[in-house]
Amino acid sequence: MIPIIAKISTTVRNLAQLYGLRLGFVFGSHVAPQATLKRAARLFSTPMASSRSRALAASTCGARQIELLVDDHRIAAYVWGDPKAQPYVLFAHGWSSHGTRIAAWLPQLRAEGYAVVAFDQPAHGRSPGRQATLPDFTRHLLAVGNHFGPAAAVIGHSLGGAATMLAMARGLQAERAVLIAPAADPVAAAERFAGLMWIGANLCQRMFSYFERIVGTTFDEQQTHRNAPVIGRPALIVHDLEDRDVPWSEGERYARYWPDSRLLTTRGLGHRRVLDDSGVITAGMRFLSGEEVGEHLVSSPNLPFGVA
């Protein structure tokens, strides 16, 4: 009975905090718009506090833990096997997640002779920091890839999928990519955040401009349909129809605009369980071995972002 009461108490407290934040943005946008803008931007780029404790509690599965220095940021990395002597797979985790989320894939990857490299993005897992953005995710993924050399494959989940696509478009060396529930549209992601927090359209647009000045690139420049077409490596896109965090349509967009890609659609796995699903892992391993997995999508002139 006590655990149930504690769970209800936590849920009520979280809802109260959410409504408090929402009301703060509603009133703040009228009373102190500039301060509210900065607060919204800070919240948008801050991982959930609970994710850190989950990461630290997760098993490292016997990994060799090392520390890399990227842009004066200390990055915690995990290595299984020997990337210098074996083909290796690089894993890119998602928002409010951590590198050891690759755990379910390790037995099959290691059995097939792959070394595996994962790491915690800034402000995630064991890597210090308070905030991160998609450009940070992309830049750090490129740096880790450059440190270990060309990879046999990259597996990216959620925002890590978007970072994988952007990194490969900017020169990350990998023979193949498996993107699981990848986010395709940072504009839509920011708008979903704004809707959740009751941030009005005007303040949301100003938040876009504020971020773009800070990171030096626009939200639009990071969208899939502007980057995937230049990537000349095969990709498997896996997305669940019932994903409530990143809509299935965003995975489908990858499959249309990435020239050599196929789409594997699942149902009932949502956004997180799809990464750990044994059927998805088996399909991913078949793809890594060179088999055709999923459906090849054909372009149409009636596309919302132009012809792929």
Which H helix or E strand runs over 160?
A: helix 159-169
Q: Is there a contact between 267 and 246 (Cβ–Cβ < 8 Å)?
A: no
Q: Is 234 left (phi over 0), alpha (psi -120 to 50) or beta?
A: beta
Per-residue tokens: 120: 């915690």
Strand partners, 68: 75
Question: Which DSSP state fits 185?
Answer: -
Please give the model's pTM, rounded to 2 decimal places: 0.87
**pLDDT for the residue 194:** 75
**Mean pLDDT score of the chain:** 86
Give the strands of the sheet with 235-240, arranged side by side. Answer: 64-70, 73-80, 115-119, 88-92, 151-157, 174-180, 235-240, 261-266
**pLDDT for the residue 1:** 44
**pLDDT for the residue 192:** 81
pLDDT tens per residue across span 84-117? 999 999 999 999 999 999 999 999 999 999 999 9
**pLDDT for the residue 6:** 40
pLDDT tens per residue across span 147-173? 999 999 999 999 999 999 999 999 999
In a structure prediction context, what are the per-residue pLDDT tens digits for the chain, which is 308 residues long?
444 444 444 444 555 666 566 766 666 666 666 777 777 777 777 888 888 888 899 999 999 999 999 888 899 999 999 999 999 999 999 999 999 999 999 999 999 999 999 999 999 999 999 989 999 999 999 999 999 999 999 999 999 999 999 999 999 999 999 999 999 988 888 788 777 767 777 777 777 787 778 777 888 888 999 999 999 999 999 999 999 999 999 999 999 999 999 999 999 999 999 999 999 999 999 999 999 999 987 655 455 555 44
DSSP 34-60: HHHHHHHHHHHTS--HHHHHHHHHS--
**pLDDT for the residue 2:** 46
Any idea of the CA torsion for 277, 279, 284, 286, to the nearest 10 degrees?
A: 160
Distances (CA, A) of 52 to 64, 170, 234: 20, 29, 33
